[in-house]
Structure 1
Amino acid sequence: MRTVGTVLIRWAAAAVISILAAGGIATAQEPHVPAGGYSELSVPSSMGPVKVQVQWAKHGGTAALYVLDGMHATNDVNEWTRQTDIMAQFADDDITLVFPVGGEASFYTDWLRPSAFNLQRVTYRWETFLTTELPDYLARYGVSATRDGVIGPSMGGSAALTLAALHPGQFAFAGSLSGFPDLSGPGMPEAVCTSMLAVGGYEVDAMWGPPLGPVWRQHDPSELAEQLRGTSLFVSAGSGVPGPEDKWDSAIGVAGSLTGFGLELIARGDSLRFQQRMQSLGIDATWDFPATGVHEWGNWQTRIAEARPQILGALTGG
Structure 2
Amino acid sequence: MRGVFGRRSTRRAGSWLKRSVLLSLAVLLPLGASVAGPAGTASAAFNPDGIDFWVDSSMGPIKSRVFRAADGNTDRVVYALDGMRARYELNGWENDTEIVRELTAANMNVVMPVGGPSSFYADWNAPSNFFGLGSSGSSGSSSGSANSGSGLLSGSAGPGKETTYKWETFITENLRYALRDQLGFNPNGNGVFGLSMGGSAALTLAAHHPDQFRYAGSYSGYLNISAPGMREALRVAMLDAGGFNIDAMAPPWGPQWFYMDPFVFAPQLKANGTRLWISAGSGLPTGVDGPSFDTVNAMALEALALANTRAFQVRMASLGANNVTYDFPAAGIHNWVYWADEVRRMIPDMSANIG
Query: TM-score with structure 1 length normalisation?
Result: 0.84
1:240 is aligned to 283
Does residue 1:148 correspond to 2:190, yes or no?
yes
1:302 is aligned to 341
- Residue identity in the other structure for 1:266: L
Q: Distance in 2 between matches of 1:202 and 1:37?
A: 33
Matches within 5 A, 1:204-243: 204-209=246-251, 211-229=252-270, 230-243=273-286
Match of 2:296 among 258, 267, 275: 258
Does residue 1:313 correspond to 2:352, yes or no?
yes
Kindly state the Cα deviation for residue 256 of structure 1 after the two structures are TM-superposed.
2.4
Kindly state the Cα deviation for residue 125 of structure 1 after the two structures are TM-superposed.
0.4
1:21 is aligned to none
Kindly state the Cα deviation for residue 37 of structure 1 after the two structures are TM-superposed.
5.2
- Residue identity in the other structure for 1:231: T
Q: Deviations over 1:3-50 (max 9, x none)?
A: xxxxxxxxxxxxxxxxxxxxxxxxxxxxxxxxx953111111111111
2:53 is aligned to 41
Q: Deviations over 1:258-303 (max 9, x none)?
A: 2100000000000000000001001121111111000010110111
Does residue 1:75 correspond to 2:88, yes or no?
yes
1:121 is aligned to 162
Q: Distance in 2 between matches of 1:110 and 1:159?
A: 11
Q: Distance in 2 between matches of 1:219 and 1:177?
A: 16
1:105 is aligned to 118
Q: Deviations over 1:217-268 (max 9, x none)?
A: 1211111111112001011000110135x432xx7xx332221000000000
3-state DSSP of counterpart to 1:223: helix
Kindly state the Cα deviation for residue 122 of structure 1 after the two structures are TM-superposed.
1.0
Alpha carbons 1:115, 1:206 under 8 Å: kept: yes
Q: Distance in 2 between matches of 1:82 and 1:203?
A: 26
Query: TM-score with structure 2 length normalisation?
Result: 0.75
Q: Distance in 2 between matches of 1:147 and 1:55?
A: 18
Match of 2:230 among 176, 188, 193: 188
Q: Distance in 2 between matches of 1:202 and 1:292?
A: 31
Does residue 1:274 correspond to 2:312, yes or no?
yes
Q: Distance in 2 between matches of 1:145 and 1:188?
A: 34
Q: Distance in 1 between matches of 2:229 and 2:352?
A: 36
Match of 2:329 among 290, 308, 315: 290
The structure with the larger Rg is 1
Q: Distance in 1 between matches of 2:107 and 2:241?
A: 36
Q: Distance in 2 between matches of 1:264 and 1:158?
A: 14
* Ranges of 4+ aligned residues in structure 1 off by more than 2 Å: none
Q: Deviations over 1:33-91 (max 9, x none)?
A: xxx95311111111111111111111222121100000000000001101111112123
Structure 2: which 5+ runs fail to align? 1-47, 136-160
Q: Deviations over 1:134-185 (max 9, x none)?
A: 0111002111111111100000000000010010111010011000111111
- Residue identity in the other structure for 2:67: Q
Does residue 1:135 correspond to 2:173, yes or no?
no
Alpha carbons 1:189, 1:212 under 8 Å: kept: no
2:138 is aligned to none
3-state DSSP of counterpart to 2:240: helix
Alpha carbons 1:114, 1:122 under 8 Å: kept: yes
1:27 is aligned to none
Does residue 1:172 correspond to 2:214, yes or no?
yes
Alpha carbons 2:195, 2:218 under 8 Å: kept: yes
Identity over aligned pairs, percent = 43
Q: Distance in 2 between matches of 1:314 and 1:114?
A: 37
Farther off after superposition, 213-222 or 46-55: 213-222
Q: Distance in 2 between matches of 1:194 and 1:72?
A: 13
Alpha carbons 1:55, 1:87 under 8 Å: kept: yes
- Residue identity in the other structure for 2:88: N
Kindly state the Cα deviation for residue 213 of structure 1 after the two structures are TM-superposed.
2.1
Q: Distance in 1 between matches of 2:70 and 2:228?
A: 44
Q: Distance in 2 between matches of 1:37 and 1:197?
A: 34
1:12 is aligned to none
- Relative distance call for 1:293 and 1:59 in structure 2 (3 A) is same
Structure 1: which 5+ runs fail to align? 1-35
Q: Distance in 1 between matches of 2:174 and 2:245?
A: 26
The alignment yields a C-alpha RMSD, in angstroms, of 1.4
